[in-house]
Structure 1
């Protein structure tokens, strides 16, 4: 966690990660995007990467993964708004899961 003297309106972090499908037992590669409104503190980039890397080798559905990452972000920096999007492909089908918490989604201009 980084203490902020000035708060940006929105922070967006994006990276790739891996987990294991609990059904097929195959490695699932995914892209995760986290958007949040900071409230006096921001998540350190290294901490974000550590959260994502913690799923390597772990059996978890993407639907659960998005919610789990959202809960970890909320616990770390207590943002008034957070949105986690997990994208992956399975047998040629794009899967996108969104977990969102807090207030109204910010407007992008």
Structure 2
């Protein structure tokens, strides 16, 4: 966690990771995007990468993985809003799982 003196409106982190499909027992490669509104603290890039890397070799469904990462980000920086988008391909089918918590801050123009 990094303490912030000024809060940006939105932080977006994106990387790739791997887990194991609990059904086929094959390696699942995925792209993960985390968007959140910081509230005085930001997730350190190294911490984000450590969270994603913790799933390497672990059997977990994509749907559970997205929710699990959302919960870890919430626990780390307590954002008022967080969204996790996980993208993958399986047997030629594109999979996109979205987990979201909280409401987006109102924007005033």
TM-score by length of 1: 0.95
**CA distance in 2 between partners of 1:106 and 1:85 (Å):** 22
Q: Using the alignment, how far apart are the partners of 2:51 and 2:42 within structure 1?
A: 14
Q: Secondary structure in 2 aligned to 1:24?
A: coil
**Counterpart residue number, 2:24:** 24
Counterpart CA distance in 1 for 2:106 and 2:27 is: 34
Helix, strand or coil: the match of 2:103? coil
Alignment of 1:54-93 (within 5 A): 54-93=54-93
How many residues align? The count is 107
Q: Distance in 2 between matches of 1:13 and 1:104?
A: 17
Q: Which runs of 5+ in 2 are unaligned?
A: none
Q: Quote how far apart the aligned CAs of 1:97 are.
A: 0.1
Gaps of 5+ in 1: none
Q: CA RMSD in A?
A: 1.2
Runs of 4+ deviating beyond 4 Å: none
Distance, in Å, in 2 between the alignment partners of 1:63 and 1:80 is: 22
